[in-house]
Structure 1
C-alpha cells in the first residue's frame, strides 16, 4: 500500500485571519525544507525539524502548522515503526482537536485534516495489533468520505478512502474473515477503477491481495482469474517487470496446486522471458520450477532446480546464515521426504536449522522445519528414530515457549499454530511407539507432558481468537505498551532478517526493546498474576504432581485428539495407563451422530443406546475395566468436548448409563485443574438472572439470531433461591448492564439464559440477556476477560448450542476459559439447548444438594439420577432431558450458610470446653 502523502496546504495560510512576520515565514519555510529533506530517510533529524516547527508555530498560535508538523512527524514515525513517537504525537493531536475544535472547524481543508489524523490513528492501532480501535478509525474515514459527491474529493481524499478500504480488508484477512476482506478489496478495486484509473500500481496491488484471499480459501481458480487481470494490465502498460514476474509465479503456483501442469508451465515460461531484466527473481523462479517437476513426480529435476535456487540465494547473502536459505533447505528436505529418501531429508533439515542458529527472529520457520524433521523421523520408524523425533519435538516445544509471549495477533496465531499442533501429535506418536516397544512407563509421563503443553497452547489460541483487548484490572497503558513492544520487536527483527541492513544500532535497538519487555513482564507477574499465567506462564503440571493431588478414589483421564489418532492417558493415585484409538471417518461420524441424537429428544432411544454403548467401549471401556475409582475427572479434546460421558451406555442390555456408576467432572487440562483446586472459595450467596426473549425479535449485537422464549427460567430461579440466600433479576430487569454492575458481590452466579457456542467463529460465542435498546444485550467471549468475579460456581442454564458442524470445541473452550480467567472456580453448563421445564427441575435439586454441603459433581450427579428415576417410565428418561449438564473445574462443596452455622456451633463448643478446663485447673491449684 503506498503512503498517503499529507501536505497541509500552506497556500491557504495567507487567507487566515492573522498576519505572519516575514522572518517567521522564512524560518518556517527553511525548517520545512530541512524536515522533508530527511523525511523517511533520517528519523531523528526529521523529528528534530518538525518539533522545531511545532514549537515556533505554537508560540505564534499558528495551529495549522502545528497540525502539519505533528501529522508529518507521525508519517515519519510510522515509516520507522516508532510506535512511542506515534503515540506521543497522537496524544498531542487529540488535545489540539479538543481545545482548538472551533478553529479546526473553520478551516477550508477541515475534512482532509480530520481524516489524515484518523488515518494516523488507524495506522498506529494497526501496527499495535489493536484491530478494534484501528477499525473505528478507518470506518470513520470510510463513512465520512463515502457520502461526499466525487466532485468534492481531491486526489488526497481519494487516497485516504482507498487506504481505509485496504486496511479494513487487510485486518479481516489477518483475522480469517475472508468474506469481509473480499468485499473491501472488491470495493476498493471498483473505486480505484472509477476515480483513479491511472494508478495502476495500487489497482494491481489490490487485485493481487484479493487473489491471495481466494488462495487462502483454496479457491484457486478464482485466485487465478484475479492474478490474470493484474498481469494483463502489467503486460499492456509494461509498467512493472517485477509485477509481471511475481504475478506469473503466483498464477503458476496456483495451477500446480490444481495439477494443471501445462498451464503452470506456460506462466513459468512467461516469467522466465523477463528474468534478464530482474535477475534477483531467479532463485524464486527455480523454486517454482521445482514445484512443477515435483508435481510431475520428477524428483531429480526438482532437486536440481532447488539446488540452483540454493546457490543463487547463498551467493546473494555471501554465504551468511539467512532465513531464505533455510527455507530452500526445508524445501529440499520435503522433496526427499516425499520420495522416502529420509536420510537426505534429515540432512537438509539440519542444514536449514543451522541457518537459524544465530537468529532469534525466525521462531515460526524453525518450528516448521522441526515439524518436518519429526515427520521424517517418525516415518523411519525405528526405536532410535522415535527417540530423535521426541528430542526434536522437545526442541520445538522450547521454541514455542519462546514464541508464545510474542504472539499477539490472529496472523501470528495462524503462522505459528499451523505447525505447532502437528508437532504435538508427532510427539504423542513417538512416545506411544516408544512406550509400546519398550514398555517403559517413563514415556507415559512424556506423553502427558506433551498433551498438557498442547492444551496450554489451545487455550492461548482460544484467547487470541476471542479478540479480547481488556483483561480484568490490568491498566490500559500496560496492555498497550506490551502490544507495542511485541509489535516493534517483531518488525525490527524481520528487518534484520529480510534486508541487508545489519547495523549494530538495529541490533542494539532490538536488545533494548526486549529488555524493556522483560521488565514489563516482571511487573505483570508481580501485580497481575492471572494475566501473567494466561500469557507468559509456561509451567505445566507433571504426571507425578497430578498423582500427588489425586485421592485413592479419583481417576484423571486426559485425551489428545489428533488428526490420525486419539491418545488417552489415565492417571490414578498409584497407576497410569496409555492407550491410542485410530481416527476413522466412521469414528468421527459416530461422535457427531451421538451428539446429534443426544441433543434431539425425538431421536430413537434404542438406536441412541446402541451407538452410545459402541462409543463407550471405544473411548472408556479399556480404561474403566482396569480402574474402579468412582470419581472421574475428564480433560477432553477436540470433538470429545461436546460428549457428556455420563450419558454413555456402559451396559446395553440393561441400558445402564455411566453416570449411574461414576461421578464425572470436566476440566480443560490438569494444570488448570490444579490451579482451580487451589482457589479459595467464598461463602455462598447467589445472584440469579432469568432474562425474557421475544422469539419473533432478533437479538441485538453482531448477531441477528432469533432467541426462543424460556418460559420456565423464572420458576427455576425462584426455586433455587429457596436453597440459597441472594438476589434475582427477572424479565426486563435481567439486563447485561445489571449483571456487570452486581456480579462481583456474589459467589454463586446462576444464568438461566441462552449461551451460544459458535465453533466456526469462537469469538462470537456469547451469553444473552434481556434485549435493551439502551445498551448491549450480548456478553461475548472477549468481554469475559474484563469481568472480575469472586465466583465459586457459575451456572449457565438453558444454553442453546450454536455448534453446527463440530470442529475442535473452540467455542465451548473459549466461553469456559473466559469465565475461569475472570475468577470462576467452577462452571456448570449444558452442551445443547435443554428443555426449559426439565432444566428447572434438575437445577432445583442440584442447588438443594449443594446447600446440603455435597460436592458439586456429586450434587449434579444425584440430581440427574433422581430425575432419571422419577421419569424412568416416560419419555423424559431420554438423555436429552438430563445428560447435557456438565460441571467443570473445582468440584469441592460450596461453603453454605448452614455449614457456617455448624462451624460457629463447633467453635462455641470448643471455647466452652476450653473455659471449663481452665476453671478445673484453677480449682486444683
Structure 2
C-alpha cells in the first residue's frame, strides 16, 4: 500500500515555498561583499537570506537555516517590511519545529500569525495556521496515537496482513475524525481504499477514494486530489470500466501537470498505459509507458523507471514477444537491485520466470521464480509469496510434474486464505482445479472448482446492485466455469455440466432482471439454475432450447504455451424436458484450416457483404457466384447444427431458441446453410437469448405487460431523425450522420399500415422520444445505430438533438428507463451488437430487456436500406395476422429472400426474448 504522508520538513517547505513565492532573486552574494545600503538593496539581501534558509531547511541544515532566517528578520524589521517580517517569523517557527523545539516554534508562529492578520494577508495567515496546527498536534497524544495506528496499518498492508491493516486504519480514522484532523482523515481513508482494493472489494475501495477526493477538494490539497483520482481510476480499471478509469487518470494527469508534480504526472501516465493495455490498444499503452519512462529518467526516479520498464515488459509478454519482454524485465531487475527495492526485485524475477516459462525454458523459469519466492519470504510479502508459489506451480504444470504443481498451488491457496485475499483464493482454486484435471484426478478437480465458483459469486455479491461492475469482474472468472464443465463432461455428468454452463453466463443480467421484477424492489438473489428449472423453461416457452459452450485448452506449439478453442459443447432441451448432449471438435479449425471459430464467424459475415459500421445506408455489393460465403455458412452449419440436426423438429413452425456464447452472438443463425444449400430459416422458426434463465424472466415480463393486437394508438414510430453529430472514434472530431430517406419511407409505410403518425425529421427529438417511450406498447425506431464494442453501454440510437440532449439515446440511458412495451424494433445498423462478455452482449438489446421489454428485434450488421424497409413492412403485416413475433419475422425473411437472395439483405435481424 502507498502512504500519501509527507515528512514534516518536506510538508513545511512545500507550504512555505508554494504559498510564499520569492521571485527574481539575485544570485547568491559572496561572503566578502559589502552589504548594499539602499532600502531596495537591503530588501534584496533579506530576500536572498530567506531563500537561502529555505534551501537549507530542505536539505536538513536546520541550524544554518535558523541563522539565515534570523539575519533576514533583522533586515526586514530595520526596513519596516511587515510582510517580509511575518514571512520570516513563520519560517523561523517552521525551522524550530523541525528541530523539535515546539515551544519556541509556537512563539514565532504566533507572532507571524499576528502580523499576517494585521496586514490582511490571507495566504500568509493560512500558512501560519497550518504550521501552528502541526506544532500543536505534536503535543496532542490523540494525534500521536492516530499517526501510530496509521503507520501500523500501512506496514500491515504492505506485508499482506489486510484484515489487521483494516482494523488499524479504521481505528486511526475514528481518532482523526474526533480531533478534526482532515489531513489525517484523508490519509486513513486513502489507505483503507487501497486495502479493500487488494482484498478485491473494489466497490468499498471506490467509496473510500470518493471520500478522500471530497476532503482533498475541501482543503484544496491538489496533490491529494490527484492521488485520489488516480486511485479511483485504478479501482474502476480493476472492475473493467476502462472508460471511467481513463477519465479519472486524465483528470489526475491534468492536476499533476498544473502543480508541476512530475512524479504524479508519471503515475497518471503509467495508469493510462495500463488502462489502454487492458483495452487491447497496445501501441497507445506503449506510448504512455515510454512517456513515464522518460519522465522517471529525467527526474532521476529510479523506482518509477523500474516500474515503467516492468509494465513495458508486461505488454510485450501479452503480445507474446517474450524476448523483448525479458529485456525490459532484466532492466527492471538491475534497477531494483541497485536501489535495493526488494519488492520490485521480486516482481521482476517473477515476471522473468513467467516469460521463460512461456518460451519453454522451464529451468530458467524455475530459477527466477525460486529467487522471487525467497525475496517475498525474506521481506514478509505474503501476497508476493503467494504469486511466486503460483508461478512455480504453473511452470511445473507445464513440465507435466503435477504433484509438485499441486503442492505449490495448495501453498498459494493457503496464503490467499490466510491474508483474506478472496480474488487470489479464487485464482488459486481455479489453477489447483486445473492441475487436478490435467493429472487425471477428476474427483478432486470437481471438489476444488466448485468452491472456486462460490468464491467468484461471493465477490460479485459485494458489488451490490451495480450491474456494470458485475459484468466486468465476471470476465476474470469465466474460466473456472469452463474448466468445471470439462471435468463434469469427462465424468459423463452432462446434466451437471449444463447447470454450470447456464450458471456461468448472464448472471449479472439475471440478477438485474430478478431485482427489477421483484415487487419488493430490492436486490433479489435469483435461484441457481437447476436442471428441473431449465426443463420447466423449455416447456413454458414451448420451444427447443440449444445452449452452446466454447471450451479452450492450453497447448504446446513449438515449445510455447498457447490457448486455443478445443471443443464446442451443445445441449438440446426439448419442450418435453428431454435433454441431449452433443459436442463438436474445434481443433481442426486451427490445426488444419488455419482459423478459429471466432474468425470463421467474421469471415462468414464479411463474405456475404455484411459489414459493421456506425452508418446505415452504405451500399453493399455482392457477388452471387462467390463460393467462399456459401462455404463459410455451410462450415458454420457443420459445426453448430449438424451435431444436433436429428434432434430438431421437422415442423417449421416449431420454435428453436439459440443460447449463444462469445463470438456466436454474431452468427446469423437464419442464414446457416445445410449441405443442400438450404437456409436454416427455411426449415425452422428461430429466436435467441443470452441465457435460458433470462427466458424465464422475459416470460414474466410478458405476463406483467400482457399481449394485445398491434394498434396505432399504442405505437411509437420514429424514422430518419435530423441526425446528430457523432465522433467516429473516441477523441476524433464528431461528424453528422448521413440522412436515411429509406428509413423515413419505412416509418411512413408502417404508420399508414397501423393508422398512426410517425415522428420524422425534426419531430423525432431525443426528449420527445424518451418522454413517449414508457407509454408505448410497440416501439419502432428506424434510424442509425451506433455500437460500442469496448464499453457496450455507449451503444446508441440516433435521434434529433434538442436542448441539452446530444441526440444519441444510449444503452446506458435506456437502462435507467421503465418501459411497458411488448416489443421494441431497432431498425438500424448493428443494434444487436455491443461488447461481447461472459454476461452476453452488453448493448442496446440488453438494456431494453432490463428496462422491461420482453421481446426485442435487433440487427447484427449494417443493414441495407431498401430490403430492410421491405422486410419490416412484411413483418408488421404478418404481426397483424398473428401474435407470434418469431413466425412473423420468419415469413418476412422468406418473402424478402425471394427478391433479395443475398443473406445480407434479409438475415441481419434476430428476435431476442419472447415469441408471443
Q: Does 1:635 align with 2:640?
A: no
The equivalent of 1:466 in structure 2 is: none
> Which digits, 9 at most, give the CA deviation of each residue in 1:614-654, with x for residues without a partner?
322221122122332532111111222122211222353xx
Q: Partner of 1:176 in structure 2?
A: 242
| 1:128 and 2:215 correspond | no
Deviation at 1:288, TM superposition (A): 5.6
Question: Is 1:708 matched up with 2:697?
Answer: no
Matched, 1:754 2:784: yes
Q: Residues 307 and 882 of structure 1: is their aligned pair in 2 closer, same or farther, counting only changes over 3 Å?
A: closer
Distance 2:472 2:807 in 1: 34
SS of the residue 2:674 aligns to: strand
2:323 is aligned with 1:259: yes
Q: Is residue 543 of structure 1 aligned with residue 531 of structure 2?
A: yes
User: How do 1:807-826 residues align onto structure 2 when only pairs under 5 Å count?
Assistant: 812-826=841-855
Measure, in 1, the Cα distance between the counterparts of 2:824 and 2:444: 45
Among candidates 415, 420, 423, match of residue 364 of structure 1: 423
In structure 2, distance between residues paired with 1:291 and 1:698: 43
Q: Alpha-carbon deviation of 1:855?
A: 1.3
| 1:578 paired to 2:582 | yes
2:179 match: secondary structure: helix
SS of equivalent to 2:762: helix
Question: 1:457 deviation in Å?
Answer: 4.4
SS in structure 1 at match of 2:547: strand
Contact 2:467 2:509 in 1 (8 A): no
Correspondence for 2:24: none
Which residue does 1:97 correspond to in 2? none
Contact preservation (8 Å) 1:782, 1:818? yes
- Tell me, in whole angstroms, the C-alpha distance in 2 between the residues paired with 1:759 and 1:434: 37
Q: Any idea what the Cα deviations from partners look like across 1:363-400, whole Å, max 9, x if unmatched?
A: 221222222223333433x4xx2343333332221111
Instruction: From the superposition, tell whether residues 73 and 135 of structure 1 become closer, same or farther in structure 2 (CA, over 3 Å).
Output: closer
Are residues 701 and 781 of structure 1, via their aligned partners in 2, closer, same or farther at CA, if it must alter by over 3 Å? farther
Q: Find out whether 1:271 has 2:336 as its counterpart.
A: yes
Question: How far apart, CA to CA, are the structure 2 residues paired with 1:880 and 1:293?
Answer: 47
SS in 2 for 1:764: coil
Residues 859/45 of structure 1: CA separation in 2 closer, same or farther (3 Å cut): same
Mapping 1:874-913, distance limit 5 Å: 874=899, 876-892=900-916
1:401 aligns with 2:457: yes
SS of corresponding position for 1:796: strand
- 1:237-275 deviations in Å (ceiling 9; x for gaps): xx87x6687677667777886325577556534533443
Note if contact 1:798-1:835 (Cα within 8 Å) is conserved in structure 2.
Answer: no
Q: How far has the Cα of 1:307 moved from its partner? A: 4.4
Is the 2:829–2:862 contact (alpha carbons within 8 Å) kept by the matching residues of 1? Answer: yes
Aligned to 1:592: 602
**Do structure 1's residue 664 and structure 2's residue 730 form an aligned pair?**
no
- Residue by residue over 1:551-602, the C-alpha shift from the partner in whole angstroms, topping out at 9 and shown as x without a partner, is 4963110112344133221111224132134053154333112222445442
| Aligned partner of residue 45 in structure 1, secondary structure | helix
Pairing partner for 2:489 from 420, 432, 442: 432
- In structure 2, the partner of 1:832 is 861
User: Is 2:672 the counterpart of 1:561?
Assistant: no
TM-score between both structures, scaled by the size of structure 2: 0.67
Q: Which whole-Å CA distance do the structure 1 matches of 2:484 and 2:823 have between them?
A: 36
RMSD: 4.8
- Number of residue pairs aligned between Structure 1 and Structure 2: 717
Give the match for residue 445 of structure 1: 495
Structure 1 residue matching 2:717: 3-state secondary structure: strand
Q: Decide whether aligned partners of structure 1 residues 673 and 130 sit closer, same or farther in structure 2, where only a CA change above 3 A counts.
A: farther
Distance between the aligned counterparts of 2:236 and 2:455, measured in 1? 28
Distance 1:665 1:717 in 2: 24
1:490-526 CA distance string (max 9 Å, x none): xxxxxxxxxxxxxxxxxxxxxxxxxxxxxxxxxx977
CA shift for structure 1 position 213: 5.5
* Structure 2 gap segments, 5+ residues each: 21-112, 123-128, 151-171, 195-201, 553-564, 611-619
> Match of 2:484, SS?
helix
- For 1:78-132, what per-residue CA distance to the aligned partner results, in whole angstroms no more than 9, with x for missing partners? 346499xxxxxxxxxxxxxxxxxxxxxxxxxxxxxxxxxxxxxxx999832999x
Quote the offset at 1:337 in angstroms: 0.9
Structure 1 residues 421 and 884 mapped into 2: Cα distance closer, same or farther (>3 Å)?
same
**Conserved 8 A contact 1:850-1:856:** yes
Q: Evaluate the alpha carbon distance shift between residue 3 and residue 137 of structure 1 in structure 2; reply closer, same or farther with a 3 A threshold.
A: same
- Which residue pairs with 2:67 in the alignment? none
Partner of 2:696: 674
The answer for unaligned runs of 5 or more in structure 1 is 19-24, 51-68, 84-122, 142-154, 436-442, 464-470, 475-523, 893-925
The separation in 1 between residues aligned to 2:252 and 2:327, in whole angstroms, is 30
The match for 2:623 is: 604
- 2:403 aligned partner: 343
Matched residue, 2:186:
75
| Cα displacement (A) at 1:853 | 3.5
Structure 1 residues 46, 828: closer, same or farther in 2, change over 3 A?
same
1:918 is matched with none
- Counterparts of 2:337 and 2:134 in 1: how far apart (Å)? 49
| Match in the other structure for 1:66 | none
Once residues 270 and 648 of structure 2 are traced to their aligned partners in structure 1, the CA distance between those partners, rounded to angstroms, is: 59
Give distance in 2, aligned partners of 1:211 and 1:698.
Answer: 26
Change (3 A) 1:840 1:581: same
* 2:178 corresponds to: 48
CA distance in 2, matches of 1:248, 1:688: 56
Cα separation, 2, equivalents of 1:339 and 1:312: 24
Q: Is contact 1:673–1:890 with CA below 8 Å preserved after alignment?
A: yes
Candidates 644, 647, 652, aligned match of 1:626: 647
SS at match of 2:788: coil
Over 3 Å counting, the alpha-carbon distance change for 1:737 and 1:343 in structure 2 is same
User: How far 1:300 moved relative to its partner?
Assistant: 4.8
The equivalent of 2:674 in structure 1 is: 650
Give how far 1:699 is off: 7.6
- Provide the C-alpha distance between the structure 1 equivalents of 2:838 and 2:372, rounded to a whole number of angstroms: 42
Q: What SS class does the counterpart of residue 242 from structure 2 fall into?
A: coil
Tell me: CA distance 1:353–1:310, structure 2 relative to 1, closer, same or farther (3 Å).
Answer: same
Q: How does 1:528-539 map to 2 (within 5 A)?
A: 528-529=521-522, 532-533=523-524, 537=525, 539=527
Moved more, 838-847 or 452-461: 452-461
| Greater alpha carbon shift after TM alignment, 605-614 vs 850-859 | 605-614
Quick one: structure 1 residues 364 and 164, their matched pair in 2 at CA, closer, same or farther if it must change by over 3 Å?
Answer: closer
1:377 aligns with 2:398: no
- The question of whether the paired residues in 2 share the 8 Å contact of 1:825 and 1:890 is answered with yes
- TM-score scaled to structure 1, two decimals? 0.66
CA distance in 1, matches of 2:339, 2:882: 80
Q: 1:421 aligns with which of 478, 487, 503?
A: 478
- 8 Å contact kept, 2:767–2:802: no
3-state DSSP of counterpart to 1:605 = coil
Distance 1:46 1:182 in 2: 28
Which moved further from structure 2: 35-44 or 596-605?
A: 35-44
Q: 614, 626, 634: which is aligned to 2:635?
A: 614
